Amino acid sequence: MSRDEEERDAAQITSPSNPRIKRLVGLRNREARDRESVFVVEGARDLGRALESGHRPTEVYYDNSLFSRSPFPAPDEASVDALALDRASYRGHSQGIIAVFEQFDVNLDRLELGPAPLVLVLEAIEKPGNLGAMLRTADAVGVDAVIALGAGIDPFNPNVIRASTGTLFTVPLAVTDLEAAAIWLEQRDVRIVAADPLASTTLWEADLSGPTALLIGSEHDGLTPSARSAAGLLVSIPMHGAADSLNASVSAAILAFEALRQRSC
C-alpha cells in the first residue's frame, strides 16, 4: 500500500464532541491513563524528542489547518479540525499535534549505571512541574538515572512531560520507594549524599566525584527522617539571605552541577 493510500485511511474528526476527542480529554485523569497504560504528548518539540530517543506513538492527532498529513507516522493517524484538537489539549491549545504513547517501564531494574555513576534521587516531589524541571536538569547534567520516590509519583502526568521539555523520554527514570532505592544503590556501591540545610559539610567540601546518588527532599517537608538515615553524607548549600530554603529543583540543579564540575575539572 502506498503512502497516498494510507493517507486516505486517516480518520477525520471535526467535532469537539467526537468520542475520540472525549477519550483524549479523559486521559488527563491518571486512572484513565493507567487503565489503558498510555499517556499523551502535545506539541512537536516534546514529540520530536520522543522520536529521537526511539519512542513511537501509537496514535497521532494533527491539526488539519496546519498539516496536510500527519507530520509523524503512527499506526493510527487522525486529521482533526483545529477547534476539536484544542478541546483535546489539556492546556486548551494543541500546538497542532497530540500523540498517544504506551507507558514505558519505570522499574528500578531497567536502570543501568556507568562507571562513577551520578544518580538523582527525588523524595516525594509534590508538583509535577518540579519533577519535569528536575528531569530537564538531569538531562543537561547527563546523570545516569533519576529515581523518584513515592507511590503518588506519576511520570506520565502532562505537566511532567511539558516541564521536562520532553526529557522524560531521554533520562533513565525509575519510580520506587526509599527502601528499595537504598538497597539498590548500596548493592552498586553508590553513596547517597543528601541535601540538608543544617549539614555542616557544604556541597563544595564534599567529594562528589565518586559513585554518588544526590538525594533531594520534598518541596515543603525536606528530607524524611528515614531518607536522612539512608544517606552516607549530608551536605548543605550555603545560604546568605532572609529566606530559609531554595526551590527543590534549584537545589537539585546546584548539587548536580557541582558534581559535574568536580568530575570535569
Q: Which residues bind a copy of itself (CB under 8 A)?
A: 49, 52-53, 133, 136-142, 165-167, 169-171, 202, 204, 237-243, 245-247, 249-250, 253-254, 257-258, 260-261, 264-265
Identify which of residues 94 and 137 has a Cβ nearer to a copy of itself in the complex: 137
Backbone angles phi, psi at 247, to 5 degrees: -55, 140
> Angle at Cα 48 formed by Cα 44 and Cα 51, nearest 5°?
140
Residue 80 CA from chain centroid, whole number: 28
Q: Please tell me the distance from the alpha carbon of residue 218 to that of residue 221, in angstroms, as a whole number.
A: 6
Q: Which is nearer to a copy of itself, 19 or 241 (CB)?
A: 241
When the beta carbons of 134 and 227 are compared against a copy of itself, the nearer one is: 134
Separation between Cα atoms, residue 41 and residue 96, nearest integer Å = 11
Cell numbers at 144, concatenated? 545516569
- Minimal distance, residue 141 CB to a copy of itself, in Å: 6
**Contact of 168 with 161, CB cutoff 8 Å:** yes
Smallest separation (angstroms) from a copy of itself to the CB of 87: 24
From the CB of 257, what's the least distance to a copy of itself, in Å?
Answer: 5
- How far apart CA 71 and CA 115 sit, in angstroms, is 39
**In this complex, which beta carbon is closest to a copy of itself, that of residue 16 or of residue 172?**
172
**Shortest distance in whole angstroms from residue 138 CB to a copy of itself:** 8
